[in-house]
Amino acid sequence: MTDESSEIVKWLGVHLRVPRQWEIVRHSLGLEKGSLVFVDRRRETLRLYWTSCERAPDLNRMLDDMRGKASLEFSGAKLAELRGHPGWQGFIREVSDGERVIHAAQFDSRTLRLIEVIVSESCDASEGKSLRARLLGNIEVAAKAEQARHFWAFGLNVTVPPGFRLFKTDVKPADVTFEFEQLSEERARPSGASAVVRRLGMAAAWAPAEKLRLVKQHAPGLSLADVEVTDQLGHHSSFAKGKETKPRILNWLGLGRRGEALLWHCEPTNAIYSVVTSYPKRTPVLAREFSMTCCEADHE
């Protein structure tokens, strides 16, 4: 996997590098437990599970159980020990000539997270071995899920300020949204501030040239003041601050919420990127604190 043939995925504190033609078809937002499922054009290629643990699990026993289940489920299954992948334990189930399923697990003692993967290979043994080495060798547990700040998937790459948690995603073809909420100091409950980060593809086809209209489309709940033209990642960008339009009575009382919208058109990727924040008047959340990449997305 060279840089051109692979891409980086960062999700809830787990970082990995996968072949570029792999796509995420299922993703979860669970902090304690969750998974990512990848497919290529023909079939499922990788399932990655994370689980928060209170202490180190007995990996040997866990894998023995899995081996046992695999031999029951697939009678006559050819099982071999997975070797040569530092940090990982597991086994390989030979399905047929050129088809293998790899079960592997690792426990990250720093973050107390258990990572399990199921890799489905459809290639000859030596190719499988090198693909697997690059895949497993590039899976890194960077943080606890609740402390994850880097989110990179579906063409959207954002680093959020400390204290923000991903709570909602909307993934449609050429339109991807991640919503984050801020947690209060003790991280127990939402502070009332949030941010919506979005990548909208095929921008040239529909984006109005008029900046204010474009920003309004992306921040529909905000009554915006003037739009300021700035520079974002080498592109002209539009920035505006505003008040939330509803409920009016709160605005009239001076208690209304505020927001910021930052948006730019990236020609090389033909996409519009935007960050819209919303916060109680006294505790501003700046759109620029959400750091994003667009056409330089492949460089870390």
User: CA 7 from chain center: how many Å?
Assistant: 12
Taking residue 291's Cβ as centre, other Cβ atoms within 10 Å add up to 14
Asked whether position 148 contacts Zn ion by CB under 5 A, the answer is no
Asked whether position 201 contacts Zn ion by CB under 5 A, the answer is no
In terms of CB distance, is 154 or 279 closer to Zn ion?
154
Alpha-carbon distance 127 to 78, whole Å?
19
CB of 295 to Zn ion, least distance (A): 3
Alpha-carbon distance 286 to 195, whole Å?
9
Q: Which of 266, 272, 287, 297 binds Zn ion (CB under 5 A)?
A: 266
Size, binding site for Zn ion by CB under 5 A:
3
Asked whether position 292 contacts Zn ion by CB under 5 A, the answer is no
In terms of CB distance, is 224 or 266 closer to Zn ion?
266
Give the binding range for Zn ion (CB under 5 A) out of 29-37, 67-75, 112-120, 260-268.
260-268
> Nearest 5 degrees, angle CA 300-CA 115-CA 142?
30
In terms of CB distance, is 123 or 229 closer to Zn ion?
229
CB of 90 to Zn ion, least distance (A): 39
Among 215, 207, 210, which Cα is nearest to 240's? 215
Q: Is 103 helix (H, G, I), strand (E, B) or coil?
A: strand
Asked whether position 272 contacts Zn ion by CB under 5 A, the answer is no
Q: Which of 18, 135, 294, 297 binds Zn ion (CB under 5 A)?
A: 294
Check: CB of residue 261 under 8 Å from CB of residue 274: yes
Contacts of 205 (CB under 8 A, 6+ apart): none
In terms of CB distance, is 135 or 266 closer to Zn ion?
266
Q: Site residues (CB under 5 A) for Zn ion? A: 266, 294-295
